[in-house]
Structure 1
């Protein structure tokens, strides 16, 4: 008995091409990144660095109990921290630079100490004053008790940091594509047009007549007498085999091999008996057809 056809070359090429393309898109989606402005110099890192600096300034002034105010961000490059206590300005450049190093912030910046009430610039310097080994302006001055605003302005906006995009939509698309390909594969593996078989009396190679019954191989349909029945793939394959060997005895092992095992499926003799019983019921409306059991051997489709 001829096996069900496998997908043809065109279908195989289409299958491989689509799966390769889908997997390629998925790989690109998972490995690609989208820049967002929350880079290496994040707001959180700057906030922590400024609070660390304020803490050490207060400790240097002998204050270990005062609360440090919240850091305010004016824009993407400017941060402000309110200082309500006197502090040693000479310590500020070194402490701030050390805090930035701790949090891996390397962008250039300017520092200004403003009067809270008037906003007037009291003291200030640029980080280049430190990196170029120059003298920081206004050193040697102690900020008297009062209210000050420490303003740090970075020279450039935050660097963009790559973030992965959500791959779930593409995963869903790939899953749907694979599902469609599986459906196409199954359509390709349906029973082929029937080869010449004993008992075929119609001009349609897919329609086998035996007795007063007809088997539509491609449609997996049995017409027995005045009744029409839908068959499963395995029932169609088994009945087609019986019709092809009408009035011949087929042993169970041969049936198992041709109907199941040629596709790598292993079942017991009991499965053959169950399928035969099902076909007998479907053929009971045709008095010219009968499936008989040959004890110890197998089955025979008897056609009058």
Structure 2
């Protein structure tokens, strides 16, 4: 019986692999030139405010579906015009498909990160919400955050249960025949090691190593450095840092973030090519030369 089960398991796993490879998965078709079109959005917003000279700064990509448009100079805007400009500008550069019709827009002040205006666009009209129309916002330094509805990989409702069932059976059979060996503590620690300049950062053991010197980290310092190390030379927003580090505690305290960043900055001084910089009004960046 065992001799029959093994070939059967291999056959099932091969069939799963073929289904995954050949299945017509749906992907996010707008991702390729989205950042270019977002720069055009910023350009058109400045033109609508009467600004023809100041620059649109590089687009800050928060995730695959979330972006922030940064501007060199203050400007004022009128919500009705802003909505039209963004919706129209997102269509430019698309030849063979319609522009995204589901996204959320928030306008934030550069200082304090306060949301001064926001609205929701949706392909379903009953879910579209555009408040405060006709109310001109004063001239100020603004950043515009746009979050698109992400198109995750999807298959037909009929095929999903079948694929899940086959996957479950195949993996149960495979691991029953070949149970994974438990990792030693050393292997666990090594698997979590990250390189930051001349440092070796081990989040599993809460340690920073440089040469023969070891620097211990607190729980918060460890979580914060792990996030920075995973996004070296990228700007991380204050809101994101507070949410990911302090979300479980239910209270977000900006001063706590600044204090732990200051502690990390001191512990990284042994490598002069590393700088943990404050990007005023936005967040922090771990620069590794």
Query: Which protein shows a greater Rg?
Result: 1
The TM-score, its normalising length taken from structure 1, stands at: 0.37
Q: Which has the higher contact order (CA 8 A, sep 6+)?
A: 1
The TM-score, its normalising length taken from structure 2, stands at: 0.39
